A and B are shown apart, each in its own frame.
Chain A
Amino acid sequence: MNSQERVWTPYRGPFDPCPPVPFKTYVVPPNQFITFQPPNLPQFSLPEALKHGTLWPSLYSPYESKFKGVR
């Protein structure tokens, strides 16, 4: 679980037909905390920047499959 992830628990009714999920998550990416990017932010190396999809570590948002390969 990373710091961009938020967790909430859906309401559980007494007569729900299906087994309840323990919790749900959503992502709040770094763009929610930046209205205007300041200059001179630290940068990834160029190969790392391509890999991450951004030049700046502070704008990077990791995401992993919620089901970790289990369908």
Chain B
Amino acid sequence: MWIYEKKLQYPVRVGKCDVRMARYLMEQYGGADGELAAALRYMNQRYAIPDKVIGVLTDISTEEFAHLEMIATMIYKLTKDASVQELEAAGLGPNYAQRDHALFYQNSAGVPWTASYIQAKGDPIADLYEDIAAEEKARATYQWLIDMTDDVDLQDGLKFLREREIIHAIRFKESVQILIDEKDKKRIF
């Protein structure tokens, strides 16, 4: 059960009409290391992981959906008023041909999202290390996106999202430590 708050986790401002960035932001919307992949990965892994770290996966998955909403807002703001010519110039002509101005879960190259981007191995350590790697890859993607724009407002939102990935990686590393320590306790008793 979730409670929806009708506001963004962090304010999204876009200061420059740069349709090109909408296409690149799709890497974090429907890409392999994007927010949708992250949210669905954690939301599914939590069913087969020791009780002590289920909450971490639930919380981070929920926050990833909030990030997905922020990315969608950025893409929407950049494309909603764009003409067909502007979309084509930004490489979004194929997107318009398929769905007008609608958003879709695809990466910056137009490849639709697929469940094969994510894994569930059922081994808590293996799954948590996959999650740590996913966070670092998302952090790197945010860096490349920040590199690609000179819009300080857009950069501000992306910097927030990048920092959150760093925090999530710490929380997953702590989860690994919690599972390691549990093993030691049993040996003592």
Contact = CB atoms under 8 A, between A and B. Distances in A.
Q: Bound pair: A and B?
A: yes
A35 interface: yes
Interface residues of A, number: 25
Interface residues of B, number: 23
Contacts, number: 62
27 contacts: A29-B139, A29-B166, A31-B167, A31-B169, A31-B173, A35-B174, A37-B170, A37-B174, A51-B160, A52-B163, A53-B10, A53-B159, A53-B161, A53-B162, A54-B166, A59-B166, A60-B163, A61-B166, A63-B142, A63-B143, A63-B159, A64-B146, A65-B149, A65-B155, A67-B150, A69-B150, A71-B150
The 7 closest A-B pairs by CB, nearest first: A53-B163, A69-B150, A53-B160, A31-B170, A29-B166, A31-B169, A66-B147
Interface of B: 10, 139, 142-143, 146-150, 155, 159-164, 166-167, 169-170, 173-174, 177
Interface of A: 27, 29-31, 34-37, 50-54, 59-67, 69-71
